[in-house]
Structure 1
Amino acid sequence: MRKKIIIVFALFVTALTGCSPKGNQEVITDEVTIIAPSSIGGGWDLTARAIQDVLMSENLIDEDIRVLNKIGAGGELGWKYTKQQKDHVLAINSSLLITNNLLSQSKITYKDFTPIAILATEWEVVIVPKDSSISSAKSLMENLKETPHDYKIGVSPRLGNDDQLSFVLASKQVGVQPEELDFFIYENSAQVVDALLKKQIDVATMTLAEAKEYYDLNQVKLLVISSDDRLKELPEIPTWSEEGIELVFEHWRGIMGPPNMTKDEIQFWDMTFEKMVRTEEWQQTLQKYMWKDYYMNSSETSKFLEEQGKMYEDLMNVNGED
């Protein structure tokens, strides 16, 4: 009887092994590179380095991981590089991958890559210098309605991203059209804030994680946040709805690989990122940057990107519809 139990157990283990993806050494056989298509300190870079830290500290991958910053063209240079790779290269993405194409700024689309995961979302904020006469988002919008060209608005790294789009959606509710707004484009959020503090621009729109360090240094005022409710970490910052504008806007970030990744590679990364987002260290990372957990695996991400493509097409009126 004992012998029979041992044989059955052995067959069970063999069956499980046969259904499992190949081990790390077989699937990932060399250093992994995560492309951050922006300069150090930007949102894509923060995401890439957070992933690097958690995967390595939690021993979720056997090989070394490096972050490579490929800067330029609103993410396109980094994504073009990723598209040309074959082995163990991933890239951070966001909605700009979709909107670049919709605005005819790039021929690359999300369909040119292997979707791996959506990881987190974060909120958008509007900031002004600490000594600015602008006291609230409501007064800013009222002033823009009266004299839109009197205000220079900073954004990075390219028009069409969620920073700009969230601001445009808010301003349209008070009757200010996108073409009336004067946006000034910078390579990264640090350059935007530098221009803001030097009074080269009057207002800036960016993600909360990018703005918070300057807020903590008492260099800028956070006028408004795109969340549905005030954050417990920043209870003093009002939402758009409190300023009379019905807008809730989440900015997502994910990760993708080159085209033609194997099923084993996709399955490996599905398992790895699923483990990563469950770790205490990743949860602490979300809290640190005030990101919101939004994990989706590769198949869910594929559907999500298709839905987002349709949504952004409608939002941006690329067909010329009202």
Structure 2
Amino acid sequence: MKHLKISALAIAALVSLGAGAAMAQEKEKAMDSVHFLIPGGAGGGWDGTARGVGEALKNSGLVDTVTFENMSGGGGGKALNYVVENAQSNEGTLMVHSTPIIVRALNKTVDMGFRDVTPVAGVIGDYAAVVVGKDSDYESWDDLYAAFQEDPRGVAIGGGSAPGSMDHLVPAAILQEAGSDPLDLRYVAYDAGGKAMAGLLSGEIAALSTGLSEAIALAEAGEVRILGVTAPERVEAAPDAPTFKELGVDMEFVNWRGFFGAPGLPEDKRNAYADMLKEMTTTEAWAKVRDRNGWIDIYNAGEDFTAYLENQEADMQQLMTNMGFIQ
């Protein structure tokens, strides 16, 4: 696999750019309330996405009341099981998720997947990043990679999700494209982005694999330095962060994030949620959230979203098999 382009797997069928001119801030109310279920803890990509979408919905006037619930555990499986087992009482709930809903079903981290819930819409894309603590001896990706080459097991890279997840696959893919065996990577899994960050700052891990939006927030807080980003070109929200392509590693990746309803969600309710999210992407409130996080504006809903998930499942299965993560 000479040139690994996960971006083609993770986003090609989803792209529907909504980055055109933002429309008026105030919109006609779409619904009274929305409850967001977040399958991980505070500080992770799911948490940031749900809260950013909730912020835009409320500030644009599309929804009166927005509530959030973090339910971490089981690599996202606890929240997924909760939505499935309490379907009737969860019609007012949107669960945020992303590529891992496919990856974790493939590697058996969870025993359910996107077919067990109702796909509503893909909304944003988030590049990945590798970061180190602000006081790290690794000044650049080249420094980190040189240390890895010398002692692969001595350079742990962590992430806020389970082994075999995207936080694991992305650095493994980077190392593979750089010319190393991805299975040499010592990956340390944490159950949330905040816990992973604590592991980085305490020295438990040498570097952290995370979403770019999370990396930007941490860098702006002065806690980390971004060594590389999986974007095709530098991102406006993080202009000082080099791309891996600049660093000689021909690797790109962008992770979609979207929303799912309970199984058996009535079609009119599914459409109402999808229309609400589509309308949100045209608002100034959303443009502010999107640009602050360095997200790509993506929207794909209903059966088109479901078809995309099915295609990505086949692509990810091949990728994970080729990299030795599944058989």
Corresponding residue SS for 2:321: coil
1:152/1:255 Cα in 2 relative to 1: closer, same or farther (>3 Å)? same
1:158 Cα deviation (Å)?
A: 1.2
For residue 278 of structure 1, give the secondary structure of its aligned residue in structure 2: coil
Q: Contact (CA 8 Å) 1:117, 1:256: kept in 2 or not?
A: yes
Letter in 1 for 2:170: S
CA distance in 1, matches of 2:34, 2:216: 30
Unaligned runs of 5+ in 2: 1-28
Larger Rg computed on CA atoms:
1
Counterpart pick for 1:288 among 258, 278, 292 = 292
- Runs (5+) with no aligned partner, structure 1: 1-23
Amino acid at match of 1:155: G
Amino acid in the other structure paired with 1:60 = L
1:265 paired with 2:266, answer no
CA contact (8 A) 1:96 1:160 kept: no
Aligned to 2:69: 68
Per-residue displacement from partner, 1:204-250 (whole Å, max 9, x unpaired)?
11111212232123232111111000123322211111111101100
Q: How many angstroms does 1:146 deviate by? A: 2.9
**1:173 to 2:177 alignment:** yes
1:78-93 correspondence runs (5 A): 78-84=79-85, 85-86=87-88, 87-93=91-97
Quote the Cα distance in structure 2 between the aligned partners of 1:118 and 1:108: 19
Query: 2:124 is paired with a residue of what secondary structure?
Result: strand
Tell me which residue corresponds to 2:44.
Answer: 42
Change (3 A) 1:54 1:304: same
* Residues in 1 aligned to 2:135 and 2:63: alpha-carbon distance in whole angstroms: 48
1:122-161 aligned within 5 A: 122-161=126-165
Distance in 2 separating the partners of 1:288 and 1:245: 27
CA change 1:65–1:237 in 2 (3 A) is closer
- Offset at residue 169 of structure 1 (A): 0.5
Q: How does 1:143-292 map to 2 (within 5 A)?
A: 143-292=147-296
The CA RMSD measured in Å over matched residues stands at: 2.2
1:97 aligned onto 2:101: yes
* Contact 2:75-2:110 at 8 Å conserved across structures: no
Once the 2 structures are TM-superposed, how far is the Cα of residue 31 of structure 1 from its aligned partner? 5.0
Secondary structure of 1:173's partner?
helix
Aligned residues: 296
How far apart are the structure 2 equivalents of 1:221 and 1:54? 28
Is the 2:131–2:227 Cα contact (8 Å) retained in structure 1? yes
| Percent identity between the two aligned chains | 27
SS in 2 for 1:295: strand
Write the distance in 1 (CA, Å) between the matches of 2:60 and 2:237. Answer: 27
Whether the aligned pair in 1 keeps the contact of 2:161 and 2:167 (CA below 8 Å) is no
- Change over 3 Å in CA distance of 1:129–1:242 after alignment to 2: same
- For residues 177 and 281 of structure 2, the distance between their equivalents in structure 1, rounded to whole angstroms, comes to 37
Deviation at 1:131, TM superposition (A): 2.4
Tell me which amino acid in the other structure corresponds to 2:162: R
Counterpart residue identity of residue 47, structure 1:
T
Matches of 1:304 and 1:213 in 2, distance apart?
30
Q: Which has the higher contact order (CA 8 A, sep 6+)?
A: 2
2: CA distance between counterparts of 1:32 and 1:129? 36
2:74 & 2:129 partners in 1: Cα distance? 23
Q: Which has the higher helix share?
A: 1
Query: Normalising by the residue count of structure 1, what TM-score does the alignment of the two structures yield?
Result: 0.85
Aligned partner of residue 59 in structure 1, secondary structure: coil
8 Å CA contact 1:35, 1:92 repeated in 2: yes
